[in-house]
Amino acid sequence: MRQDIQKAAEHFAKVLEKQVERVETMKEQKEFVDYDALDKLVIGIVGGDGIGPAITNESHRILEFLLQDEVKSGKVAFKVIDGLTIENRAEVMKAIPDDVLAELKECHVILKGPTTTPRAGDPWPNIESANVAMRKELDLFANVRPVRVPGQNIDWTFFRENTEGAYALGSDGVHVNEDIGIDFTVTTTEGTDRIARTAFEYAVKNGKKKVTVVTKANVVKTTDGKFLNKCYEIAKEYPGLEVDDWYIDIMTAKLIDEKRRTQFQVFVLPNLYGDILTDEAAEFQGGVGTAGSANIGKRYAMFEAIHGSAPRMVDEGRDKYADPSSIIRAGIMLLAHIGHPDKAQKLEKAMDICSNIEKKLVITGRDTGATGAAFADYIMETIKKLG
Ligand code: IPM
Ligand code: MG
């Protein structure tokens, strides 16, 4: 075999070995952690980069306020984890420094601010995204992204597969020679099974009637084909649900079709399509800055804002004016996930009052508007009034 092909083939063998190992680990981890059965639930607070620490701190204050009784009784503890910054990551050349990863693993759930994702040409080394690494390291396979626009009858919940597809091996591609670059994408039976079940279970528990699978299985036949077939196979266990499927291209079009889009409820889709479609969907709700995202695994869960770290705001000294809404929304999902749906609802209601109804404070991102801290205080005052 030619030498360059030989080298690439060896690389591919290594890639496969890692995937086989990953499948074994998935098979071992069958059950979700039961938070009620824990003596103490640990919530990690990770600020991240840029405006991350400022906005995450505001969401943290609100969570401490809502969970004060649980903290007093020792049922819940907060753990602030510094160090997931681009400076530290660049210094050790790792997506997540080892000491930070060890601290993350001491938590059950994590609230995470935005982290800078370097790309070729940046002043930073081109290390893997901390988000993507955390999803893989903590096996956070379900990325759940709700999008609601009540006035337009939009009520969607996306279940984006979070550990496979084009992302799983996004940093493991190979330049075979000067002319050929190859990337890999992976779909596994176990990985598809768990995301499909999570989406179907959610649909049943939340009174949804329809789940839509999105792929490009007509072209990407092996991996997307497997994803689609597996979803339909598991759907047979949920006879009460209507399950249909669409290709990603026409799906992006149908989301802007006002008559069609209101018929969709729950989506389940591979990683990359989920990345793209959820940005489009969030735009109807006011942009990615308004959306929260839950990354759920069987042992860990992480809740994050889906916008970027806005380093320019920090350079211009405006981080205290950054809008904490998205990371507060992530906090709402965290509260619901750890078994406090009542507190989650209260916070959601207060957010709605402060952002859409009363609007006593407005955030503009500059000193023409309120600070994130003032906004968080306003929310807590509103919660107190709600009783
Ligand atoms: C998201 C983001 C990330 C992703 C980036 C920051 C790596 O776009 O959470 O959707 O592509 O998953
Ligand atoms: Mg994205």
Does the pLDDT at position 288 exceed 90? no
Return all residues near 241 (Cβ < 8 A) that are at least 6 apart.
200, 203, 204, 208, 209, 210, 211, 235
Check if 131 has its Cβ closer than 6 Å to any atom of ligand 1: yes
Tokens (6 digits) for 44: 């990690």
Check if 132 has its Cβ closer than 6 Å to any atom of ligand 1: yes
The answer to whether residue 326 sits within a structural domain is yes
Find the ligand nearest to 302 CA. 1
**Three-state DSSP class for residue 30:** coil
CATH number at residue 160: 3.40.718.10
pTM over 0.85: yes
The answer to whether residue 181 sits within a structural domain is yes
Measured between alpha carbons, how far is 219 from 217 in angstroms, rounded to an integer?
A: 5
- The residue contributing the CA closest to ligand 1 atom 3 is 131
| Domain with 364 in it | 31-140+297-387
Check if 166 has its Cβ closer than 6 Å to any atom of ligand 1: no
DSSP string, 235-289: HTT-TTSEEEEEEHHHHHHHTT-HHHHTT--EEEE-HHHHHHHHHHHHHHHT-GG
| Per-residue pLDDT reduced to its tens digit, 357-385 | 999 999 999 999 999 999 999 999 999 99
Q: Which atom number of ligand 1 is nearest to the Cα of residue 306? A: 9
Does the pLDDT at position 356 exceed 90? no
Q: Which atom number of ligand 1 is nearest to the Cα of residue 279? A: 10
Q: Which residues pair with 245 in a beta bridge?
A: 213
Domain count, the chain: 2
For residue 126, the model assigns a pLDDT of 85
The verdict on 267 and 316 lying in the same domain is: no
Domain final residue pick, 285, 308, 341: 285
For residue 306, the model assigns a pLDDT of 79
The verdict on 380 and 250 lying in the same domain is: no
Check if 19 has its Cβ closer than 6 Å to any atom of ligand 1: no
| Per-residue pLDDT reduced to its tens digit, 114-172 | 999 887 788 888 888 899 899 999 999 999 999 988 889 999 999 999 999 999 999 89
